[in-house]
A and B are shown apart, each in its own frame.
Chain A
Amino acid sequence: MKGIIENLIEELTRLPGIGRKTAQRLAYFIVSMPYEEAISIADAIRDVKEKARFCRQCFNITDSELCHICASPERDSSKLCVVEEPSNIQVIERTGIFKGLYHVLLGALSPIDGVTPERLKIKELLDRVKKGGIEEVIIATNPNTKGEMTAQYLKDILAPTGVKVTRIAYGLPMGGDIEFADEVTMSKALEGRRQL
């Protein structure tokens, strides 16, 4: 029979990016933690597994029917930011710039992987826009082939609704060096230049 430490190490290696050595370090750290802190981690994991579900409006992860963003009266409901995954919302929220609402597609179109429009929350997006009240849809899918393809598809299907559709800018990452930019990134940065 496996020991309790060995069992914890094995369980921790199920997490992405956690190899055996890291799992071992984490396991011994958990052993040395105060009881309350360790149990607090365990409770948080149990809570998220028991209570997490998708927001009925935007498909963000929440523990109630509407997520805290959709439920907030302070958000600007005329602007809708479309992202691929719930985790993308946190990144945009950290900027503190965007005050509108979100819509999570739960993936991106991919012909080779068989991810068709029906498999994403695209119909739900269209329904939201058709209901009215949204003036701008900002497409913040990833700047790669799948994300770009999804953005173009959304632009086409949203066109008949008359809503303004915008795409987040492309370009060079802050702190980077032009010397190391590839042709596509550089050409996108030039195309998206703005007057100072």
Chain B
Amino acid sequence: MNKRTEAIVLSNTPLNEADLIVTYLTKDSGLIDVFAKSPRKVGSRFGSSLEPLTYSRIAYIGREQSNLPRLIQSDIIRPFHSLRESYRLFSVLSEALELTKRILPKHLPQRGPFQLLLSLLLSIESGKDERKQLIYYKLKLLKLSGFAPGLQHCVRCGKETSRFQLNEGALLCGDCSEGDGDYIEIEQRIKGLYNYLLKIRPAVLDRVKIEDSSLTGLERVINSHINYNIIERKLNTHEFLSSLKRG
């Protein structure tokens, strides 16, 4: 079967002497891995189109559900090269790429995550605040993949509470929580911000002004939830960013 779609490169992994396995987030088939023959050779027809963040029109053959369809064409639509030129910016964006790769199931046709990632890259390329954009991306990705926690009231009794029970991935008041599981307190303004950001479209985000302290509070909740409930081991990118901070 010959399939054509638009896709963004999330990562590439060397295989054998000069081959690559490329992980794409596609417009029509969700997350896929494809085999690319010899792109690492100088003069390869794939050129730089298999580098992370590249937005291309691709064609591949092989059954979609099979382990590795083969890439036969990749034409760049937008290279997003400027986002790879700064290692600090690329490191921050790598968090989005890694999270997408770890959170989404393979071969699930769903356009939302693709449009969301494309919108993130376009926004950051146009110079918008990457921290705010990244938090919004993570929140929306959690929502689209069904992992976003409800932050309105206690999920058991409906009482107002600020206690986010990590092992439950939800708000749980002191009366309803069983035992002494880990939890974090969430300020009302962070809850409000979280619920607001979940509702708005990317275009509206540009007009929203968010204080640094609120971004930090929201980041803490989202990252704790992701690390505790969604992924089995910490994101490699977090370790990398910590390493850069240590100098």
Contact = CB atoms under 8 A, between A and B. Distances in A.
Interface of A: 16-17, 109-118, 144-145, 148-149, 152-153, 173, 175-176, 180-185, 187
Closest 5 pairs between A and B when the two form their complex, measured CB to CB: A114-B236, A182-B47, A111-B94, A116-B243, A111-B240
Contacts of B98: 111-112
Given A149-B91, A152-B85, 9 more contacts: A112-B237, A116-B244, A149-B87, A153-B87, A175-B43, A180-B45, A182-B49, A184-B51, A184-B79
A111 B85 contact: no
B17 interface: yes
Contacts of A152: 85-87
B171 interface: no
A114 B84 contact: no
B47 A114 contact: no
B42 interface: yes
A114 B239 contact: yes
A74 B16 CA distance: 36
A144 B50 CA distance: 10
Interface residues of B, number: 33
B237 to A, nearest CB: 5
B47 A16 contact: no
A116 B240 contact: yes
A176 B45 CA distance: 10
A176 B43 contact: yes
Contacts of A184: 47-48, 51, 76, 79, 81
Contacts of B81: 183-184, 187
A7 to B, nearest CB: 23
Interface in B13-47: 16-17, 42-43, 45, 47
Given A116-B240, A116-B243, A173 B85 contact: no
B97 interface: yes
B11 A182 contact: no
A148 B85 contact: yes
A109 B239 CA distance: 12
B169 interface: no
Interface of B: 11, 16-17, 42-43, 45, 47-49, 51-53, 76, 79, 81, 84-87, 90-91, 94-95, 97-98, 101, 236-237, 239-241, 243-244
A17 B16 contact: yes
B71 to A, nearest CB: 15
A153 B87 CA distance: 7
A171 to B, nearest CB: 11
Contacts of B243: 116-118
Given A111-B98, A144-B51, A176-B43, A149 B90 contact: yes
Contacts of A187: 81
Given A109-B87, A111-B94, A185 B47 contact: yes
B239 to A, nearest CB: 5
A149 B90 CA distance: 8
B208 to A, nearest CB: 28
Contacts of B48: 144, 182, 184-185
A152 B43 CA distance: 24
B52 A181 contact: no
A114 B242 CA distance: 11
Nearest to A114: B236
Nearest to B80: A184
Contacts of B95: 111
Contacts of A109: 87, 240
Nearest to B234: A114
Given A111-B94, A145-B52, A184-B79, A173 B43 contact: yes
A183 B45 contact: no
A153 B247 CA distance: 11
Instruction: Give the interface centre of A116, A173, A181, A187 by most chain B CB atoms within 10 Å.
Output: A116
B16 A111 contact: no
